[in-house]
Structure 1
Amino acid sequence: MISHRLLSDETIYQLTDQIHRDQHLLFYSYLSQRKEQAKFVGQYVDDKLTGVLAYFCGLSFPAFSFHCINREELNFTALIASTKEIIQLKKNAVCGTILCDRDLQLFQSHGLITGNPQRFLTMKHMDQSKLLDSNLAELVKENDISDIVDVLRNGGMKFFTRSELEQYPFLGIKECGHFIAVGGFHFYDSKLVELGSIYTSPAYRGKGLAKHLTSQLTKLGRTLSSDVYLGVMEENQVAVQLYKGLGYEVTAEQTIVDFKLIY
């Protein structure tokens, strides 16, 4: 017998302990830092959990994370249909998520993917000796937050929330009173630190600004947790090599996709 329901706090807690963070960082973040703004639709077959589709409402688009527990028992079509009913998204809403290769094949086989998937790397910091001794970037002040939001949006950065800028340290480099490079955190506590929204204006790229920003942000993160991560598009090899040069290593290779809940 198949049934669907929102996960209980107890089940969420149990899953948090079972998840391999390095391999499933997105889903782990939903279970932990994003728990209060997330809904977890679980599919049960004979009262055993087979899969979860989690929805987060804090971004500029409907953001999801998928976790499969029993691939042989999972009825994916039913999970998608029930999630659509429970979440009550607008018709034809384009959603986003990050998938491992097996889950990508599952989404593709059901015709859910729209647009062009992009390969995405999760990287974890492993070597503190490679960080720069830098103080080039300054802490962004509260009255600069709106300017930072404009810089990020104009640069096409959409994987951030305003609360991240307001709650966590955010660093910026200015020239002539304008921000030319910025960076901050998606998550910043003892459980998990993830750098995010690292951006340099096109006219100032190639000058090492991102390297200084990333070094300073990584050191800030290391004061809270030894588990410091960041994500980067695989095609952006300039950034990938920069991060490797600062002591980061790839822990997971996945794919960012847009999709629709068509059932």
Structure 2
Amino acid sequence: MGQFVHNQLTAVFAYFSELSFPAFSFFHVEEQNIFFSELIAFTREAIKLDENAVCGTILCQRDLELFKSFGLIQEKPQRFLTMKHQDETKLLESNMVEKVSESEYSDVLNFLHRGGMRFFTRSELENCPFLGIKEGNDFIAVGGYHFYDSRLVEVGNIVTRLDCRGRGLAKHLTSELTHLGKKRSPDVYLGVLADNLPAVRVYEGLGYQTIEELSIVDFTLTSKYGS
């Protein structure tokens, strides 16, 4: 949904239907005034969501304050770091990792769902390369991408089986995903919760640097203050 004032775009509220919860992206054109309550009301009507449905999005600080001012936020936001790869000399070379074949898609789907990947969609597996590490015939670690485009690549969907953690598998997997991503685009990113310090340290050790801090939020499309 886009909002226009005097034929100028002020904001976009995009609904993504493939996840297990109502997911949105929000973009506010910085120099334009936004009629936020009208945009929320229109979105609620267009999507036909239950008024109590809990939605999810990722916001910058300015937009977080906007959502808060309308009483939409449900829980305490989670700090989320956007990291960009900056130093290829820190990447590993690994012979542990192999590309996931189409015949293995169902195994990977089950593996990622068991791993609780909230932001994974089947279309990512079908449209982006995924890599895995196996013991015997079983996956013990899997990873792929959220975006895999010549403009930018975003590494994501990295899961290690619970009983195999602490062996450096995610580090090897992330290295190979980054190597592969660099062949597609010079701009390779990933996102991680700020309080997941072990993962942050792994990514920093592989040459990633934090470039922005955002917030993962749960919100409703019904303002406490009316809309």
TM normalised by structure 2 equals: 0.92
SS of 1:61 mapped into structure 2: coil
CA apart distance, 1:227: 0.7
Following superposition, the deviation at residue 211 of structure 1 comes to: 0.6
Rounded to whole Å, the distance in 1 between the matches of 2:157 and 2:44 is 30
Distance (Å, rounded) in 1 between the aligned partners of 2:165 and 2:30: 46
**Which among 186, 201, 213 is matched to residue 173 of structure 2?**
213
TM-superposed CA distance for 1:116, in Å, is 3.2
Are 1:94 and 2:54 counterparts?
yes
Q: Deviations over 1:29-69 (max 9, x none)?
A: xxxxxxxxxxxx22223333222212122222221111112
Map of 1:255 onto structure 2 = 215
The range that moved more, 42-51 or 222-231, is 42-51
2: CA distance between counterparts of 1:189 and 1:83?
29
* Residue 20 (structure 2) aligns with: 60
* 1:65-118 Cα shifts (integer Å, max 9, x gaps): 111125772221111001112222244222110001111111112111113321
Give the equivalent residue in structure 2 for 1:158: 118
Secondary structure of 1:255's aligned partner: strand
Equivalence for 2:97: 137
Q: Tell me which of the two structures has the higher relative contact order, counting C-alpha pairs closer than 8 angstroms and 6 or more residues apart.
A: 2
Counterpart residue identity of residue 112, structure 1 = L
Residues 152 and 158 of structure 1 are in contact (CA less than 8 Å); yes or no, is this contact kept in structure 2? no
Runs of 4+ in structure 1 displaced over 6 angstroms?
none
Runs (5+) with no aligned partner, structure 2: none
Aligned residues of 1:135 and 1:216 also touching (Cα < 8 A):
no
Identical columns (%):
60
- 1:90–1:71 Cα change, 3 Å: farther
Q: 106, 131, 138: which one pairs with 1:146?
A: 106
Structure 1 residue corresponding to 2:40, chosen from 75, 80, 98: 80
Matched, 1:200 2:160: yes
Aligned to 1:216, the other structure's residue is in SS state: helix
Matched AA of 1:98: I
Q: CA RMSD in A?
A: 1.5
Counterpart secondary structure, 1:124: strand
Q: How many residues align?
A: 223
Query: Which string of whole-angstrom CA distances, capped at 9 and with x for unpartnered residues, describes residues 161-205 of structure 1?
Result: 112112221111112422111101111121221111011112211
Length-normalised TM-score, structure 1? 0.80
| Mapping for residues 9-28 of structure 1, pairs under 5 Å | none
Instruction: State yes or no: 1:170 paired with 2:127.
Output: no
Which deviates more from structure 2 when the two are superposed, residues 61-70 or residues 206-215? 61-70
